[in-house]
């Protein structure tokens, strides 16, 4: 769908403002898909509480391994490392906070 809109944008005489609207609409669609994925990730993260003690919520070895793997995959996709590390560090810290809040 996004690719089709890109082709339409190239072949038609849309104004820069109209092209910007289309691009922003595409970004919004992607963001909403990402929100759904974050919902799924949240559910999985909350399951972890059942299996590890509160004192082990933060696992630095796992975090380092996760970041390295995601950066490696991102490099193959030509995504800059700073984007991946920024997003994943923020996400990991947010989910750690969630676990601490929800821990029973």
Give tens-digit pLDDT for 1-40.
Answer: 666 666 666 667 899 999 999 999 999 999 999 999 999 9
Cα 104 from Cα 100, distance rounded (Å): 9
Could you tell me the CA-to-CA distances from 4 to 28, 37, 70, 83 in Å, in that order? 16, 24, 29, 27
pTM of the model: 0.81
Give tens-digit pLDDT for 43-77.
Answer: 999 999 989 888 889 999 999 999 999 999 999 99
């Amino acid at each position: 769908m996004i690719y089709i809109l890109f082709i339409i944008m190239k072949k038609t005489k849309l104004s820069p403002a109209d092209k910007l609207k289309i691009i922003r609409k595409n970004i919004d669609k992607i963001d909403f898909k990402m929100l759904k994925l974050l919902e799924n990730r949240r559910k999985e993260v909350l399951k972890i509480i059942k299996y590890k003690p509160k004192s082990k919520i933060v696992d630095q070895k796992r975090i380092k391994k996760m970041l390295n793997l995601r950066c490696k995959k991102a490099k193959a996709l030509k995504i800059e490392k700073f984007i991946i590390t920024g997003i994943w560090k923020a996400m990991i810290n947010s989910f750690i906070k969630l676990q601490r809040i929800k821990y029973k």
